[in-house]
Amino acid sequence: CDFGAMTPTLKQCYEFLNLTSRSFAAVIQALDGELRDAVCIFYLVLRALDTVEDDMTIPIPVKVPMLKSFYKNLWDPNWNYTESNDKDRIVLENFPSISQEFRNLAEIYREVISDICQKMGDGMTIFLERKVDTMEEWDEYCHYVAGLVGIGLAQLFSASGQEDAIIGEDTSLANKLGLFLQKTNIIRDYLEDWNDKRIFWPRATWSKYASDLGDFALPENQEKAVQCLNDLITNTLELLPSAVLFMSRLKTQSIFNFVAIPQVMAIATLERCYNNPKVFSGVVKIRKGEAVRIMMGSTSLEKVKAIIRHFTLQIIERIPDTDPNASKTRAVCQKVLEVT
Ligand SMILES: O=C(O)CO[C@@H](C(=O)O)[C@@H](OCCCCCc1ccc2ccccc2c1)C(=O)NCCCCCc1ccc2ccccc2c1
Ligand SMILES: [Mg+2]
Ligand SMILES: [Mg+2]
């Protein structure tokens, strides 16, 4: 970006972006024109909101009003929060710089960012005390924390004029982009979340394989743990055809890359996690070198389809005949192969 033409506070915002997001900073900064600043601020505002949600030291009676009213802070030049211990507390401590740049955005971008922030804050409060039980509630939670991001981004793409109106209007499709990324993160982060006493795996699924979610961390339950893992991965793979359809409608290269790269990194992560007991003893991450190769190869729909097909075939090859969901996983993978 042209740091020269930026206000000092906007420059600061890009520093916060690079400090708080390994996976999104690069692709956000590669966006063009006004959209780049709008998405950068959108990220920082929602990361600040999420840092309140994630901070387990804030008592629920304090956290609920904080989340519900968070969007109002966008219009309060002095609001910040200095009590957080979270890794991303920098965005709460320096919120005045972020809200200042929010107020400098065009009205069309401010409306989307404020609306999504209010809906996400409300949605987060629903799940502060209620755990994710049914698969519908899993979709509902992921809608609030990630589906809404996809919906907001699609609206920003159309508002910028760089994409057609249909992109921002088809909220069901945009929602699924976020669900795919969030469900992949939840599946990958089982142990990290369990150690933080956070439960995002839906009870409807894990209760088929164990009486307590913590059982999966015990080596003697490894087979049941992996069967539950494969069950959730199968549910998540069902979202891939919608992601391919969304990407097929994009006409701006920088927006295509911005949407495609996180989706392709997620399918690579799912493939790495499939039938992999290491998910229950550590965090399964894609190596930097492989990540760079994947990003370089995600610049056209045909290349992205080829990469998705590659990882889908890798999963098919590793489906254990004894896995309770084997035939369902094969069917879901077959559907992905049909659209790639
Ligand atoms: O605390 C952490 O480090 C992880 O927190 C997770 C959690 O607490 O569950 C969780 O926090 C969710 C609430 C805050 C969402 C913040 C966000 C993330 C990415 C963005 C990308 C571009 C623009 C705005 C964005 C906003 C988290 O970060 N999960 C990662 C997956 C969420 C992806 C959101 C998303 C959805 C659709 C997308 C479509 C295209 C490109 C990027 C997309 C990004
Ligand atoms: Mg978080
Ligand atoms: Mg969170």
H, E, C per residue of 193-210 = HHHCCCCCCCHHHHCCCC
Residue type, 212: D
Distance in Å, CA 319 to ligand 1 centroid? 30
- Residue 119 tokens read as 């809906």
pLDDT of the residue at 309: 98
Q: Give the Å distances, CA to CA, from 332 to 48, 145, 329, 338.
A: 36, 25, 5, 10
Q: Whole-angstrom Cα distance, residue 284 to residue 292?
A: 17
Check residue 28 and give its pLDDT. 97
Asked if 103 is an active-site residue, the reply is no
Ligand number nearest to the C-alpha of 119:
1
Report the pLDDT value the prediction gives residue 129, as an integer from 0 to 100.
Answer: 86
CA of 93 from ligand 1 middle (Å) equals 20
**Ordered mean pLDDT values, 10 residues apiece, the chain (340 residues):** 84 98 94 98 98 95 98 98 95 98 98 98 95 97 98 98 98 98 98 94 98 96 98 98 98 98 97 98 91 92 98 98 98 98
Q: How far apart are CA 192 and CA 195, in angstroms?
A: 5
User: How do residues 261-303 score in pLDDT, each as one tens digit?
Assistant: 999 999 999 999 999 999 999 989 999 899 999 999 999 999 9
Sequence-separated (6 or more) residues with CB below 8 Å from residue 8 = none
Active site residue 141: yes
pLDDT at 135: 98
Identify the residue whose tokens are 């098919």: 316
**Per-residue pLDDT at 37:** 98
Render pLDDT for 16-36 as a digit per residue (tens, 0 to 9): 999 999 889 999 999 999 999
- For tokens 């389809």, the residue is 305
The C-alpha angle 44, 50, 53, rounded to 5 degrees, equals 155
Quote the pLDDT of residue 165: 98
